[in-house]
Chains A and B, each alone.
Chain A
Amino acid sequence: MLKIKNLHAQVGDTQILQGLNLEVGPGEVHAIMGPNGSGKSTLASVLSGRESYEVTDGSVDFDGVDLLEMDASDRAREGLFLAFQYPVEIPGVSNMNFMKAAINGKRAHQGLDPIKGTDFLQKVKDCASLVELDGRLRDRSVNEGFSGGEKKRNEIFQMAMLEPKLAVLDETDSGLDIDALRVVSQGVNAMRNSDRSFIVITHYQRLLDHIVPDYVHVLSEGKIVKSGGKELALELEEKGYDWI
């Protein structure tokens, strides 16, 4: 599904990723943990195609295509999804128009006709119930005036709508109370299947109580320094990152 080899990336003159290697197979859930500044969010940004990050070395193969050659919209159309740490408010663009444009962008890329109105509405209904997103939030402008928890639920709603091959969740637990964390995690778990993979980026172990990973990696100074099973997260929680 995803093969990251020797990835180096920088912002301005600051080198952040310094030879990162990671392989994610179909249906696997990988957690990436690490102290602040270790490069977790940079990895998410580089994978999703944020323009301010420059890849200086390495390669990323995404299901047989060179991910780094594509711009952000094509990466999404190929099946990559990033759940933002800080979802953006876009006044005046309704959530529904946003999702319709996104789905039809992907469908056009696949040579398909735009989605039928009735199919779209049914999909909205199904996906919204997954994360308990009520009608009021669906019809409003994208994230405008949403609480922190509502924004994160909206991210997972969008993920469900777009049915990605690979979803990167960037600190989705930050700013969530325990109820919102449960709802968001349920949404993610409902989407897990044998084809869809996840990279769950988090600072804390608590999210991993809800979204149980197959693998846990520790990122430090732009490299993966330790990998293990889900028990590694517990160990980290207990001993702190200094232990690595």
Chain B
Amino acid sequence: MTGSKESFISNFKAPENSRGLRSQGDQYLVDLPVPGRRSERWKYSPISKLLNTSLNTCSGEGVVWPEEILPDPVPFLDSYRLVFRNGHYVSSLSDMPIDDDVICMPLSEVGAEFTNDYHKREWVGAMNAAYHQDGLFLKVSKNVSLDRPVVIHHLTDGADIAALPRHYIELEEGAGAEVVVWSSASEKSSGMCNGILEANVSSNAYLRVDKICNEAGEIFKFSHEYIKQERDSRVKINTFTIKGHWVRNELEIVANGPGTDSTFNGAYLPTGTEHVDNHTVMDHAYPNGTSSELYRGIMYDKSTGVFNGKVFVRKDAQQTNAFQQNSNIVADKGATINAKPELEIYADDVKCSHGCTVGQFDKEALFYLKSRGIGSDEAKALLVKAYVGDVISSVDREEVRNEILRLYSERHGWA
């Protein structure tokens, strides 16, 4: 029987480690409902088509890396690299830091103490808790900044694959790290990639994450990032969906101390019948926090999209400065975006601003460009590149920025 939540996971095999978390996952898989149209969080991103498939977790044996995909997704970046295929670590393609102050290794080789409770709230989270395979474990010691970025490259490759990566990052006081989370999939791929990243950022530490989804094939991709920030820590997360059949990006940032700074941006330009969903939560519970969020999307063809941005400013979070901006261009008649900002503010001495727009190309700007002899398509490309360029420019590393720009350009015919 396909289509039931039991049958969907019936072929999944769990590794032997992390027994505690896995048994909790098993329990919540039973207790929690499958995401459906009745749930506010999932109503624009139904997964019934996925549930009707029969997927398998892979063993990780017999790795053949496809030729068309570079193991190193940002070739010009001087970085460390952890490569995973269908959830499993590929050591021959990886390059890890050797440093007394840094622990960086596959999660399967250490026991991480996960603190987030996503698996108790969402069925897909429970699935990851029960069946996660491998991922990055990164711990940076007090006052140490990792000298190069760490690139996590996850490839989904093959038909009817269930890949469940799980990453853990811990930065001690005053530590710093940059991580690029890159996911790709080969043309022939189908199935699901269900990934979780948890990061604990101690006081005065900083974390930068650039998350890029560039997946061919037909993958349902769930990714949940949970970032906990302590006093005076800084976090910057950029989420780019370059290509993906069905993508759900969830980002949850919890400010767990005063004076935190959180910047998170995203861009999505789906074409064809692609679906991209960005759900973000920024939770200010302490005073003097700052957050800045900018998400921009352009919906082409018959693509569908969701933006949901929650900002909580709790009672004690006085002097919070929270900014949220989401803008969308619906480029074609058949495309759809469901955009919803949600601000819940319980403190009275705060500065919060938000804006959410859905519109078409700026006709005046298009005419202006055309009136100078720039063709219609090129004029649109110039406007789009500028619009998304604001988000891309928030990526700090030039090599990463250029690669994102190159892939978008290639896909959308930008000059």
Give chain A's interface residues, CB within 8 Å of chain B: 48-51, 71-73, 75-77, 81-82, 84, 87-88, 90-93, 97-99, 101-103, 105-106, 109, 141-142, 158, 162
Contacts and interface: CB of A to CB of B under 8 A. Distances in A.
Contact of B373 (A50, A76, A93): A76
Interface of B: 362-365, 367-376, 378-379, 382-383, 385-387, 389-390, 415
A185 B22 CA distance: 77
Given A88-B364, A101-B415, A76 B385 contact: no
B389 A73 contact: no
A154 B365 CA distance: 15
A69 B379 CA distance: 20
Contact of A92 (B374, B376, B378, B390): B390
Name which of B363, B375, B389, B415 has the most chain A CB atoms within 10 A of its CB. B375
A240 B376 CA distance: 42
B308 to A, nearest CB: 26
A72 B367 contact: yes
B381 to A, nearest CB: 9
17 contacts: A72-B370, A72-B371, A73-B374, A76-B370, A76-B372, A76-B373, A77-B373, A81-B372, A84-B368, A88-B368, A93-B369, A97-B382, A98-B382, A99-B372, A101-B378, A109-B373, A162-B373
A97 to B, nearest CB: 7
Given A97-B382, A101-B378, A92 B387 contact: yes
A97 B369 CA distance: 11
A105 B385 CA distance: 18
B371 A90 contact: no
Contacts of B389: 92
Contacts of A99: 372
A50 B365 CA distance: 12
B373 A98 contact: no
Contacts of A141: 386
Given A76-B373, A105-B378, A87 B386 contact: no
A203 B33 CA distance: 69
Contacts of B376: 71, 73
Contacts of B365: 88, 90
A50 B364 CA distance: 9
B370 A90 contact: no
A90 B383 contact: yes
Contacts of B364: 88
Q: Which 6 A-B pairs have the closest CB atoms?
A: A92-B386, A76-B373, A102-B372, A72-B370, A88-B368, A105-B373
Given A73-B375, A90-B368, A101-B382, 15 more contacts: A49-B370, A71-B376, A73-B372, A73-B379, A81-B371, A84-B371, A90-B382, A91-B386, A92-B385, A93-B382, A93-B383, A103-B373, A105-B378, A141-B386, A142-B368
A105 B374 contact: yes
A36 to B, nearest CB: 21
A200 B82 CA distance: 65
A102 B374 contact: yes
Contacts of A98: 369, 372, 374, 382
A98 to B, nearest CB: 7
Given A97-B382, A98-B382, A105-B378, A49 B371 contact: yes
A49 B368 CA distance: 11
A106 B373 contact: yes
A76 B372 CA distance: 6
Nearest to A141: B386
A73 B373 contact: yes
B160 to A, nearest CB: 42
A134 B232 CA distance: 42
Contacts of B386: 90-93, 141
The residue among B367, B383, B386 with the most chain A CB atoms within 10 A of its own CB is B367
Residue from B370, B371, B373, B415 with most neighbouring chain A CB atoms (10 Å): B373
Contacts of A103: 373
A72 B369 CA distance: 9
B267 to A, nearest CB: 13
A49 B376 CA distance: 13
Contacts of B367: 50-51, 72, 88
Nearest to B384: A92
Q: Which of the listed residues A48, A49, A92 has the most CB atoms from chain B within 10 Å of its own CB?
A: A92
Contacts of A76: 370-373
A101 B374 contact: yes
A45 B365 CA distance: 14
B106 to A, nearest CB: 41
A97 B385 CA distance: 12
A53 to B, nearest CB: 11
A73 B366 CA distance: 10
B373 A82 contact: no
A158 B385 contact: no
A77 B379 CA distance: 14
B382 to A, nearest CB: 5
Contacts of B373: 73, 76-77, 102-103, 105-106, 109, 162
A73 B380 CA distance: 13
Chain B CB within 10 A, most for which of A71, A141, A142: A142
A99 B371 CA distance: 12
B371 A87 contact: no
Of A48, A49, A76, A101, most B-chain CB atoms within 10 Å: A101
